[in-house]
Every structure is written in structure tokens, then in C-alpha cells.
Structure 1
Amino acid sequence: MVKNNSKDLEELSVQDKLKALYKLQLVTSEIDRIRIIRGELPEEVRDLEDEIEGRHTRYKKDQDEIVELNRLIGEYKESTTNSNELIKKYNEQLHNISNNREYDLLVKEIEYQNLEIQGFEKDTRLAKERIARLEEAMQELSQETEDREKDLELKRTELDTIISETKEQEDKLHDETKELEAKIDERLLRAFHRTRDSYRNGLAVVTIDRGACKGCFNKIPPQRIIDIQSRKKITACEYCGRVLVDPELAEESAREIDLQ
């Protein structure tokens, strides 16, 4: 907030103060308008960036899972080979047994290894099916991510264009804001910003419209309207607290500033 020169402010008439307040309202509302125009785009860009980052993370996790599944398939293959070698070994030993007990033990080992092989084959099949599903999902994900990246590039370009087009105007408006704030005493300026912050539309200074406050639309007593039109004191709406100015002063103030 600009520090004001109290002596210079004392020389300003109430009408000048009201004009400065209304001009400040016009300028700050124009800054609000510019920010609203581009205000949604930065959020959209951030959302797209987060979404794309999440997609890349998911793609990497799927890749890692495929690597792990292929490692397991390799282990299943090696274990199957080992089981087949054991079965071959046990079958050879069947020719050299000396009693039924040894025969039963070898037969059970062969059956066990065959069951192991069946388990390895089943696990291998399930792993390959999972890999196929992952690869299909990754292909879809990759295409969707590519589309979202194109959307992001368009949004970034749009945002950069708006920022480029409005930066000069916004800088000019900020300079004008400082000049106007220097003409308003600190008490009024604090009240102005406090009121602006309390309403979503940022209106702290409004005109009279058909005998009512244009901020809250409550009726204003006739005597108060006369006081406002006389411009001899600063009057606030008793319902919403906004400073009230007559339409003629508002038109005069608007003509005196350039919002382009």
C-alpha cells in the first residue's frame, strides 16, 4: 500500500476523494477481470500437468511389473527344467530299486515333481496373460497420454498468449492503482480494501441505481440520496458498507481514466 502525504490529502475536496475512490474501484475491477480471463487457465494447466505426471507414473509401474513377471517366468522355466531333470533321474533309479519302500518313495517324488511342473505351467500362463493385459492397457494409456500432452501444449500456448497480451495493460493498471492510492487517506484505503476482500465481486464503491445501492440492491432513504448527490461527505451503504457515489460522478470519473 502506498504511503500517503497527509498534508496533500487535506487539500483534496470530498468530491476529489470520491472520484479517486471510484477510479480505484474501476481500475482494480479491470485487474480482476484480466485475472479472471487467465485465472482458469493456470489451474487447467496445473491439472493437466498433474494428470500427465500420474499417467507417466502408472506407465512406469506397469513396465516394472512386466519386468518382474518376465523374471518370474524365467524362474518358472528354470524350475520346470530342474523338475524334469529330477523326474528323469528318479525314473532311472526305478530300474535299480531293491524294495517296495524305495519304489513308493520314488513314485511319490515323480508325482510331486509333475505337480510342481503343472504349477509352474499355470503360473507361467497367468503371468503371460497378465503381461498381455498390461501391454494392452499401456498402449491405451500411451495414446491417451499423448492426447493429453497435446491438450497441455495448447493450454500452455493459450496461457502464454493471454499473459503476453495482458501484461502491458496489467502493469499500466498497477501503476495507475498506486497513483490513485496516493490520493486516498490510509483510513479510507484500508476500508476500501477490507470491503473489497469481503465480497466475491470485489466491489467496494458503487453507484446509486433507481434509488438503491447497486452493490446490495437495498433501498436508500431519499435524504441520504440527496447527501450523496451533494458530494459533501463520504457515505457508505448502511446495509453492505460499500461507499456510494452518484451516477454523474461515476460517469465523470470513468471519462477521466483510460482502462485500455
Structure 2
Amino acid sequence: MHETMERLVKLQSVDYQLKSIKEKMGNLPETVIAMESRIKEEEEKKVQESERMNQNQASVTKNQGKIKEYRAKLEKYQEQLYLVTTNREYDALTAEIDYAKKEIAEAESQILEARDENQELEESIKSADENIEALKADLEKAKKNLGKTIQETRDEKNRLEKERQEIIFTSGIKS
């Protein structure tokens, strides 16, 4: 009975030392995983923002073509105003002129909105790049610390786990 108690006390001591090793590692493994996840999120955000910038640029190009088209129509309609002979023709041309002006204004507005959004996206991408670089530097430090801690504690942990298994085996304790 006395021998069993000594083994249990020894087992408790070994478990305490293993717990101490685990605490020494702290939350470094979780920190590394969280940092890697954060970097991935930032990179995905950056890709989405770049795609949005490309869409905005395509919209700008499309609207520039639309403006060019409606300005040509506007010029044509204004020249035709001098050739009208009836009020109906005049009303029809002024309606076309008004429509062309409205389309030009709308396209110009969309161009400005797209350019403003692209400017914001550029700043956001720049910020994301800075965040990614800082996170990568922090991640590298955390990985080095984790590696160093693992290396320092590996042999001791293996020895203690082996000792724990021997105590359990010789005592007939079921873990």
C-alpha cells in the first residue's frame, strides 16, 4: 500500500512537471495559428479590393465611351436644330438633346464615383499591405519563440511522459 502511495505521489509530481512545461509554451501555438489566419484574411481582403478596383476601372472605360458616343449625338442633334421646319421636329430634337445631356451627366457621375472608390480602395490595399508585413514579422518572431520553447522542453517532456507511463504501468493504474 505504501509503495502504491509513493507511486501516486511520484505520478502527481510528474504530471505537475508536464503541466509546467505546457504552461511554459503558453498560448504560442494558438497565437501562431491566429496570426496565420489573420494574414490569410488580409490577403483575401486585398484580392477582393483589387478585383473591385478592376471592375471600377472597367466601368470608367465603359462610361468614357458612353460619354463620347452621346457627345457626338449631342453635336449632331444641335446641328440638326438649324434644319428643322416644324415644331414637332424641334420638340423631338430637344428631347433627344436633353436625353443625351442626362446620359452624359449620369456617366460622368458614375466615373467620379468609381474613381473615388478606387482611391479609397488603394488606401485600403496599402494599409492591408502594411498590416500583412507587420503580421508576418510578428508571426516570424512567434514561430521562433515557439520553436525555441519546443526545442528547450522536448527532451524533458519526453522523459517525463516515459516516466509517467512507467509509473502507470508498474502501479496497474488505468489512465
Give the TM bin, normalised by the shorter chain: over 0.9
Q: In the alignment, what sits opposite 2:10?
A: 23
Gaps of 5+ in 2: none
**Could you say which structure has the greater relative contact order, defined with CA pairs below 8 angstroms and 6 or more residues apart?**
2
| Structure 1 residue 133: Cα displacement | 1.1
Q: In the alignment, what sits opposite 1:118?
A: 105
Given residue 104 of structure 1, which amino acid in structure 2 is its aligned partner?
A: D
Q: Supply the distance in 1 between the matched residues of 2:75 and 2:15 (Cα, whole angstroms).
A: 89
Divergent runs of 4+, >6 A? none
State yes or no: 1:98 paired with 2:103. no
- Which of 124, 128, 131 does residue 118 from structure 2 map onto? 131
Q: In the alignment, what sits opposite 1:50?
A: 37
Given residue 57 of structure 1, which amino acid in structure 2 is its aligned partner?
A: E
Given residue 81 of structure 1, which amino acid in structure 2 is its aligned partner?
A: K
Q: Supply the distance in 2 between the matched residues of 1:146 and 1:20 (Cα, whole angstroms).
A: 52
Q: In the alignment, what sits opposite 1:89?
A: 76
| Structure 1 residue 141: Cα displacement | 1.8
| Structure 1 residue 38: Cα displacement | 1.2
Q: Which structure: larger Rg?
A: 1
**Identity %, equivalent residues:** 26
State yes or no: 1:79 paired with 2:66. yes
Q: Equivalent residue of 2:170, what SS?
A: coil
State yes or no: 1:174 paired with 2:161. yes
Gaps of 5+ in 1: 1-13, 194-260
State yes or no: 1:154 paired with 2:141. yes
Q: Equivalent residue of 1:182, what SS?
A: helix
Count of aligned pairs between the two proteins: 175
Given residue 172 of structure 1, which amino acid in structure 2 is its aligned partner?
A: R
| Structure 1 residue 169: Cα displacement | 1.0
Q: Supply the distance in 2 between the matched residues of 1:96 and 1:143 (Cα, whole angstroms).
A: 62
Kindly provide the CA deviation profile for residues 19-53 of structure 1, in whole angstroms up to 9, marking residues without a partner as x. Answer: 11111111111111111211410011111111111
Q: Supply the distance in 1 between the matched residues of 2:71 and 2:165 (Cα, whole angstroms).
A: 87
Q: In the alignment, what sits opposite 1:65?
A: 52
Given residue 123 of structure 2, which amino acid in structure 1 is its aligned partner?
A: E
Q: Supply the distance in 2 between the matched residues of 1:50 and 1:39 (Cα, whole angstroms).
A: 19
Contact kept in structure 2, 1:41 and 1:159, CA below 8 Å:
yes
Q: Supply the distance in 2 between the matched residues of 1:179 and 1:87 (Cα, whole angstroms).
A: 94
Q: Supply the distance in 2 between the matched residues of 1:59 and 1:149 (Cα, whole angstroms).
A: 15
Supply the RMSD in Å over aligned alpha carbons.
Answer: 1.2
Q: Equivalent residue of 2:137, what SS?
A: helix
- Richer in strand (by share): 1
